[in-house]
Each structure stands twice: as structure tokens, then as C-alpha cells.
Amino acid sequence: MGKINLLSFEVANLIAAGEVVDRPASVIKELMENSIDAGAKRITVEIKNGGITYMRVSDDGCGIAPEDMPLALKRHATSKIANAEDLNAIFTLGFRGEALAAISSVSKVRILSKTADAESGTLLYAEGGNILSVSETGCPNGTTVTVEELFANVPARRKFLKKDATETAAVCANVEKIALSHPEIAVRLITDGVSKLETVGDGKLENTIYSIYGREFAKHLLSIKAQNGGVEVTGYIGNSHNVKPTRAYQNFFINHRFIKSKTATAAIEQAFSSYIASERFPACVLFIDINPGAVDVNVHPAKLEVKFSNEKLIFDTVYYAVRSALEKSTDRAELEFSGGSQPARHAGTSAFTPPVSRAFVPVVDRVDRPAFQPEQIRFTKPQIGGSLVLSSPSSSENTMNEPEKGSEDIGKIAPLHTAATAPPAVDATSHIPFADRADVKATDAADIRNFVEKLPLPEYKIIGVAFNTYIFVESEGKVTIIDKHAAHERIIFESMRRRIRDFSPSPQVLLVPIVLALPQGDFAAVLENTACFESIGFAFSADETTRQIKISQIPSVLKINDVSDIFATMAAQLATGTGNIEITKNEVYERVIYQASCKAAMKGGRVDSDSDVRYVVEKVLTIPDLTVCPHGRPVVVTLTKHSLDRQFGRE
């Protein structure tokens, strides 16, 4: 007796349905995607009991013609593609004609729809995939789909549903993502009779972000816009003070479709290195737009993953777009009192001020100030740890002990010594008190960064140094509080980083080669990218049968013990499209200079001369993009007079 059964049509349908819908949230996603494909300007979602007993999605889209109604529930019935060629470039969110069939086979479905040119609407009712009635009825243009008793006929599925609150949360998350993906659509979500979410639908992404993530979040964003080889990346990222403990705030949309992308995630996370603490994750709402022919959306049952014809291009475009926004960012944390009669965080704002991020203010606005007038400067002798001695070049010499120690550390970094442009000799009369004086001197004229304009030094007064750690400075109607170690660390880090940016290392030939075996995919990626590895100083031979790489020469900056790890990481990143050799190389270098700058920087809790303090203060006041230390901690927080006045009831 044979063992193979041919399953019935019903069972086959249930199996197929299981791949498309597994919980209320996936039903909502499919229904909302249909509304978007129908050109809706307004979508309202309502659920009860986590969606398990009741879900409804209404739209004002194109509607379904009466004769199409029964077809809509059939498997492989779609108005979006017609033949195999259409699969090569998909312009709509749906295309398989499976969702309504799947949903209706596991629930009770009611579809009410009317097209603009039809006299009246049609109402269809189906249970377990069987159409029980179709009738004519009056209704507005558009479509409303109601889904009741989800999985009532599939106990195996139903028992895997979580508590109502958990299912509700999953629905909310999907509705939020879809609302973010289409700021031109007004989306409303009602759960158990309570309005949970409402977006305006005015086409402005920042307003949609504000509606979904709130004012505090929307205040700390950086705008992203980049184009590279047919890929366009636009949207917003949270700045370095707006990072999260999980990846829940990472939103990537490929051609306005929400997806999970390892490539994009890796790109943004690598771009954030040296701007974020290690246990934090960046937040983003990023749109990646690409020719639909260059991306395959037909690789995942719920269409949550896609395949790019060129992963590296996506990686690079996202990485550089995010990185350059971070490097240009001048956002500094603002200290606000949360207690008091009126919480300062709502100061001067009505409940619904239009969401304006500080990041949206063009940098020029801040840079555009009256020219610096030296005679205006009002120096107040800083009181630093009881030392009232005003600095002179010779007195600052006394403070050189610790930084000198640091400079030894810096000296251990090979590339800095062999850099093509040696730093000019230190001017003995100049007022640059630290070990990094040579580094800083080298970059002072051109500024630490190329792109953010340096500010003229404002009139300022050093109030003092608290706990030998935080420098309080008054200038321009606010108090700037500087973490002296963090600030100095970033100053040194930037000056070193700038010098290694264009640096190609002198390779080191190994007496005993390093041998490592790689998995097939990674090995193939190494062979494909041999030239890249060579360009940064590696030389190796590869044995195809054992998949072994024999490394005979390494970039001199690497420690021999780290070589295997770094090489294997680069190979894996190349194989999965989650990295690029040049970027990984820079990251390795940056890790080295992190450590050096941390050691060389002035220490919290120790007494520093007033000239050293002033040096850091002046850097902070004139370099607006000095915002976080290389470990992602803030360098500066500001406290406005306004905020203090409110706290003391003066306003």
C-alpha cells in the first residue's frame, strides 16, 4: 500500500493560509496593504480583543467592482499582476492574490465595497472560505473588510495566539510601521473602542513620526538624504541622544514596503560606532528607494524580507548617508527640569505645537552671528581645585605629565607615525596645553572637521569646575556644562581620525603565516574581493580544497592575535552584504584610537590647570559638532536661562 495521500483542497488551503496569516497583526498588515494598493488616502483600523474576535479595515480607495467580488477571495486571484514577466518588477505591495483567500479560509469575512463609477456597493459574506451571500447595498466609495472569529476553525493555530494585550501590541506595531511607510495616508487605529493612533496624512514624514513616537522623539532627529548608483536613501535617524535599548525603533522601507533587512541594520549600526554606547541601538525611519527590478520581494511568505541584486550598494548607501549625518550633527543634550510647578519640558509649548526638531534648523542659522570681537571677551579667573594661577605657556608645562603619558600611548599606534603629512612642529608660544597639541595643532587651522563650520568664539565666562569633572561655562544666555574628560577625548579622537582617514598603512610581512579555514560562502567572498583585502595591506594565498586562507602579510596596525578574527569578520560581512572592507578597516583603526584618546584625555576627578580647562571650553564653544565622546556619552549639556527662570518661578 502506498503511503502518499493527496490532500484535499481545503487542507491545502489551510496550509497555504498558515504561511500568510499567523496572527491578527498579519491580517491587519495584509488588509492595510490592499488599501494602500487601492490608492486610499485614509485608512481606519479597528480591532477588539487583540483582533481575535473582531478586526475591521476601511479605506476610501478604488473599491472592488461587483463582478470581481467573488474572485477576490479565490487563491491566485489578483488585479496587480497578469503574467510571469510582471514578477520581475513589482510596483504594488500585494501581487500573489493570496491574502483574502487565506484570511477568509480561517475566519468569517465580510467585504463591503463600492467603486466610484458603480451605482451601488456590494456586500459579500464568507465563512471558512465559502461564500455564503453576495448582495447589493448602499455604501460610500471604498472598501471595508471585517474579519471575525479568527482561526475558529483551526484550533492548532488558535491555541498559539497570545494574550489579547500581546496581540493588540503586535497589531499596533504593524499599524505604526505602515503609517510611517506612507505619510500621505491618514491612518487611524482604534482598539477596544479607544483611539490609539492617528496620523494626519499630510505627506510630511516628520509629522507622522511625531504622531507615532511623540514629541521628545521627534525633537531629536537628523534628516537623511543620499543617492548612490540608483539607490536613494531618505528619512530620519534618531541623533546620538535619541538611541534605544532595543531595535524596535528601527524602520526600513524598501520602495515604501516595511521589511527586515540585515544589510540595512548592519549599515546603520556600523555607522553609529563611536556615536553610541555599546548596549544601545540606533532609531530610524529610513526609506530605501530602488528600481523595482533590482529587488526581489517574492522571497518570503509574508514579504518581510527581500533580496537585492546588489546588497553592497544598499549597505554603502545607508552607511555613508547615516555616517555623514552623524558627523555633521550639532545636536547637544539640553538639561530640563522635570519637577516644579510647570514641567520645563513643556515650556512655552501648547500641547500640539508643530513638531519641529532642532535638527531641522539649518546649521547656518546658528553659525550666522556677529563677527568675533576680541575686546568683548570677559575672562573671569577660573577657580579650579583651588588653583588660581592664570596660565602661561610655562605654567601649562606643569600639567603635561599626564598627557605626556598619553602621548606615549598614542605613539604606539603605527599609522600615526608613518602618516604622509607629519604634523608641523609645535609653536612654543602657542596655547595648546595637551599631549595632543601636535595633533590638534595640525588640524586647528582647517578645523577638526571639514563640513561643519566652526563658530566664532562667543563671549564666555567659566563659572567653575564641579567635582573636578564638569566645567560650567556661561555664554549667550545659557550655561554649558562640559564633561571635561568626554570632551577632550572626542577632540583627540577626531584629530587622530582625520589623519588616518586617507592613510594607507605600511604592511607587515609575517614570518610565520596565519592560517584560517572559512565556511564556503565566506571563502568565496574572500576570493571575489581579493583586491580589496590587498588594498588595505593583506597578502594571502587560498586553497580551494581545504578552504584555507594562508595570510602572509597584514596591515601593520593590526595586532597579530586579532588578525584571524578580523579577517573572518570581514569575510562574513562581505558574504552576507553586511559590511565593506574599507569601513571595517576604519572601524578597527578607530577602536585603536578610542583607547589612545581615552588614555590621553584629561581625567574626571583630577585637577587641571585653568589654561587646560579653557582650552577644552573654547573647543566646545567653537566646534558645534562636538556632541558625544567616542563611547557615545554626551560631551556637553546645556541649561538655558529660560529653563532656570521657570524653575524659580520668575516666568
Minimum CB separation of residue 633 from Mg ion in Å reads 46
Question: And the C-alpha cell for 279?
Answer: 548596549
Number of residues lying near Mg ion (CB under 5 A) = 3
Chain centroid to Cα 465, Å, comes to 35
Residue 143, interface with ligand ADP (CB under 6 A)?
A: yes
For residue 80, the partner it binds in Mg ion, ligand ADP, none, with Cβ less than 5 to 8 A by kind, is: ligand ADP
Choice between 42 and 80, CB closer to ligand ADP: 80
Minimum CB separation of residue 33 from Mg ion in Å reads 5
Phi, psi of 352 (to 5 degrees): -120, 60
Phi, psi of 611 (to 5 degrees): -70, -35
Q: Which residues, numbered 90-119, are part of the site for Mg ion (CB under 5 A)?
A: 94, 99
Phi, psi of 151 (to 5 degrees): 60, 20
Residue 380: which residues within 8 A CB-CB, separation 6 or more?
Answer: 461, 462, 463
Please list the residues that pair with 251 across neighbouring strands: 285
Minimum CB separation of residue 639 from ligand ADP in Å reads 52
Minimum CB separation of residue 370 from Mg ion in Å reads 60
Burial of residue 469, with CB atoms counted within 10 A of its CB: 0-12 exposed, 13-18 middle, 19 or more buried: middle
Would you say 569 and 584 are in contact if contact means Cβ atoms under 8 Å apart? yes
Measured CA to CA, the distance from residue 384 to residue 610 in angstroms comes to: 6
Choice between 77 and 89, CB closer to ligand ADP: 77
Q: Which residues, numbered 463-492, are part of the site for Mg ion (CB under 5 A)?
A: none
For residue 25, the partner it binds in Mg ion, ligand ADP, none, with Cβ less than 5 to 8 A by kind, is: none
Choice between 29 and 449, CB closer to Mg ion: 29
Measured CA to CA, the distance from residue 158 to residue 149 in angstroms comes to: 10
Choice between 30 and 167, CB closer to ligand ADP: 30
For residue 539, the partner it binds in ligand ADP, Mg ion, none, with Cβ less than 5 to 8 A by kind, is: none
Choice between 96 and 485, CB closer to ligand ADP: 96
Minimum CB separation of residue 67 from ligand ADP in Å reads 12
> Taking CB positions, which residue lies at the least distance from ligand ADP?
94
SS3 string, 602-633, reads CCCCCCCCHHHHHHHHHHHHHCCCCCECCCCC
Q: Which residues, numbered 20-39, are part of the site for Mg ion (CB under 5 A)?
A: 34
For residue 61, the partner it binds in ligand ADP, Mg ion, none, with Cβ less than 5 to 8 A by kind, is: ligand ADP
Minimum CB separation of residue 596 from ligand ADP in Å reads 56
Residue 146, interface with ligand ADP (CB under 6 A)?
A: no
Minimum CB separation of residue 201 from ligand ADP in Å reads 17
Minimum CB separation of residue 68 from ligand ADP in Å reads 6
Measured CA to CA, the distance from residue 240 to residue 323 in angstroms comes to: 11
Choice between 95 and 253, CB closer to ligand ADP: 95
Residue 62, interface with ligand ADP (CB under 6 A)?
A: yes
- Of the candidate spans 27-35, 232-240, 496-504, 540-548, the one that interacts with ligand ADP by CB under 6 A turns out to be 27-35
Would you say 398 and 438 are in contact if contact means Cβ atoms under 8 Å apart? no
For residue 44, the partner it binds in Mg ion, ligand ADP, none, with Cβ less than 5 to 8 A by kind, is: none
Closest-CA residue to 468 (of 480, 456, 485, 453): 485
Q: Which residues, numbered 79-118, are part of the site for ligand ADP (CB under 6 A)?
A: 79-80, 94-101
Question: And the C-alpha cell for 187?
Answer: 491612518
Minimum CB separation of residue 126 from ligand ADP in Å reads 12
Closest-CA residue to 493 (of 418, 406, 621, 614): 406
Minimum CB separation of residue 32 from Mg ion in Å reads 9
Minimum CB separation of residue 156 from ligand ADP in Å reads 23
Chain centroid to Cα 512, Å, comes to 42
Minimum CB separation of residue 302 from ligand ADP in Å reads 12
Q: Which residues, numbered 153-172, are part of the site for ligand ADP (CB under 6 A)?
A: none
Largest CA distance in the chain: 103
> Angle 355-359-364 (CA atoms, 0-180°, nearest 5)?
125
The label of the residue with cell 520645563 reads 344
Check residue 647 and give left, alpha or beta (phi > 0: left; psi -120 to 50: alpha).
alpha
- Of the candidate spans 29-37, 356-364, 452-460, 483-491, the one that interacts with ligand ADP by CB under 6 A turns out to be 29-37
Minimum CB separation of residue 149 from Mg ion in Å reads 21
> Taking CB positions, which residue lies at the least distance from Mg ion?
94
Number of residues lying near ligand ADP (CB under 6 A) = 23
For residue 59, the partner it binds in ligand ADP, Mg ion, none, with Cβ less than 5 to 8 A by kind, is: ligand ADP
Burial of residue 360, with CB atoms counted within 10 A of its CB: 0-12 exposed, 13-18 middle, 19 or more buried: middle
Closest-CA residue to 357 (of 321, 324, 310, 325): 325
For residue 35, the partner it binds in Mg ion, ligand ADP, none, with Cβ less than 5 to 8 A by kind, is: ligand ADP
Choice between 97 and 128, CB closer to ligand ADP: 97
Secondary element (H or E) of residue 404? helix 401-411
Choice between 27 and 492, CB closer to Mg ion: 27
Length of the chain equals 651
Site string for Mg ion, 61-80 (x = CB under 5 A): --------------------
Burial of residue 267, with CB atoms counted within 10 A of its CB: 0-12 exposed, 13-18 middle, 19 or more buried: buried
- Of the candidate spans 75-83, 158-166, 361-369, 478-486, the one that interacts with ligand ADP by CB under 6 A turns out to be 75-83
- Of the candidate spans 71-79, 176-184, 479-487, 607-615, the one that interacts with ligand ADP by CB under 6 A turns out to be 71-79
Q: Which residues, numbered 32-61, are part of the site for ligand ADP (CB under 6 A)?
A: 34-35, 38, 59, 61
Residue 186, interface with ligand ADP (CB under 6 A)?
A: no
Minimum CB separation of residue 146 from ligand ADP in Å reads 12
Residue 334, interface with ligand ADP (CB under 6 A)?
A: no
Residue 323: which residues within 8 A CB-CB, separation 6 or more?
Answer: 271
For residue 540, the partner it binds in Mg ion, ligand ADP, none, with Cβ less than 5 to 8 A by kind, is: none
Would you say 58 and 44 are in contact if contact means Cβ atoms under 8 Å apart? yes
Secondary element (H or E) of residue 540? strand 539-543
Choice between 34 and 242, CB closer to Mg ion: 34
Closest-CA residue to 175 (of 161, 188, 192): 188
Residue 241: which residues within 8 A CB-CB, separation 6 or more?
Answer: 220, 331, 332, 333, 627, 628, 634
Minimum CB separation of residue 137 from Mg ion in Å reads 23
Q: Give the binding site for Mg ion (CB under 5 A).
A: 34, 94, 99
Q: Give the binding site for ligand ADP (CB under 6 A).
A: 30, 34-35, 38, 59, 61-64, 72, 77-80, 94-101, 143
